[in-house]
Structure 1
């Protein structure tokens, strides 16, 4: 999502939406859907633990990038409602994913070094996306928006696979009997 985020506003403008339409939809729907996604994730974490909402967020973030690809294939300017739906879905998934990831990073941090470890973990989390996003304009110029958003979705697959591996590892550890010293 970090990879595609820098191209969102240029994409909306190139589709023919005005700046005021973009601001109204992105700020209104985007803000409230991010908050709703965060709250929903909090409920899901309490109910299911961290891993399942983390997986849900990873899948949703990658999937919503495909909605942008579909919007890029639309002839002319898509209806404003379509923009609202895509932005809402993207921000809902972003709220879920970021909240689940914060919960996961927090669970990894040692209580004695929480601030330092959390700062390091969160910085490392954004580094690959920030680096790759620097090339996003070249990808759009070379291939187009639809292809760019498909690539952004594919870049989410390693996250989904990693969460599945972590879930399997967690299940294996829970299945092992505790050793008595």
Structure 2
């Protein structure tokens, strides 16, 4: 029997909890798009249904207090991980049915709500289980492990699915095995955390009920922040074009040449977009943070925003030249993802600044919820729009959709 410990070295649980946080997020928001595309679903339906999966991250701020009020964060972590594994098993089984689109979407929505709840519990446990000094030290470790989960899923699992597809010719089977593997990993992590997560004394249910007065004061203070109107408009519009692109990038790369796509195999997609592209995204995020730390956000937000949006032109070029060598496609996707990393780092720094002194954490959560809404809304229409105008014209529209957010930059209240 493993003895209960009030504290353990953070190395024993920070990497695993944040890997477990990243895995279901990327399954729901990226892998679902790829699965549905390979299963023959139209871009209109893919974009509409998978955009809806952002909803739990839009509204998770509203049930966050319930995680504090009922049970411990430790129990929330282990139970949500176990239930996410069950949800992924159900999604895998649904792929063999004629109604897989609706059944799998329902399963992914369940996983999304559980994943958003798991995020709240993990972040709370992180703060309760160690000192502020250790929290500062492990912030880079947690970010790395979260991204490692994304790399493992969009790279490793997608490549594996592609290899199974190539050997068996059975697309549903390849994704069933992939989802079952993800479920198995989450199940093992749930068991590991059940056994080895510490029991911090501070991790206890809130004795008093939710202070709804304080809850509403947080929102009132947020909407009284200086420049909040322009700030919210910027949050919604800054990634508008990128949100449209993200929903159709995978379908474009996977679509047959006759449909205007690049006709990449699942395996090559996993290498190009899920592995090389993501590594470049991580590199761009790190470099963006270094640039902002040295020169400040006020001086760098314009060039970093340009680096986010200008590479969208690469997709216009690829849409007009669908017979490009795989290596050149890889270079263009890598450069676009590198710019994506640079530009989103500037965006996240702005969200950190858009907080009041008293409610920094809560205000940041509100901003990230609005950010998720800004990703969800353009996603709904992106598939419908693409199927009516074609890939080349769609990507041109994406480029124009990046302009409103950039035009708001001079009106932002940027501290430094």
Q: Work out whether the TM-score is over 0.5.
A: yes
Q: CA deviation at 1:65?
A: 1.3
Counterpart of 2:356 (choices 106, 110, 121) is 110
Please state whether the residue corresponding to 1:16 is helix, strand or coil: coil
In 2, distance between residues paired with 1:35 and 1:52? 22
Q: Unaligned 5+ residue runs, structure 1? A: 175-181
- Deviations for 1:39-74, whole angstroms, at most 9, x for unmatched residues? 111111022111333222321222111110110001
2:294 to 25, 42, 47: 47
CA–CA distance in structure 2, aligned partners of residues 144 and 27 of structure 1: 24
Please list, as runs of the form range in 1=range in 2, the aligned pairs for 1:1-181 lying within 5 A after superposition.
1-14=242-255, 15-74=262-321, 76-166=322-412
Q: Is the 8 A contact 1:33 1:92 kept in 2?
A: yes
Higher-RCO chain (CA-CA 8 Å, sequence separation at least 6): 1
CA distance in 2, matches of 1:87, 1:114: 35
Deviating above 3 A after TM superposition, structure 1's stretches of 4 or more consecutive aligned residues are none
The answer to whether the 8 Å contact 2:285/2:341 transfers is yes
Return the TM-score normalized by structure 1.
0.85
- Answer 1 or 2: which has greater helix percent: 1
Unaligned runs of 5+ in 2: 1-241, 256-261
State how many pairs are aligned.
Answer: 169
CA–CA distance in structure 2, aligned partners of residues 54 and 126 of structure 1 = 20
How far apart, in 1, do the equivalents of 2:312 and 2:319 lie?
Answer: 11
**Partner of 1:119: helix, strand, or coil?**
helix
CA distance in 2, matches of 1:95, 1:16: 26
Structure index of larger Rg: 2
Q: CA-to-partner distance for each residue in 1:56-105, whole Å, 9 max, x for gaps? A: 2321222111110110001x432112221221112111111111111111
Output the CA distance in 1 between the equivalents of 2:330 and 2:275.
9
Contact in 1 for aligned 2:305/2:346 (Cα 8 Å): no
User: For 1:57 and 1:119, how far apart are their aligned partners in 2?
Assistant: 23
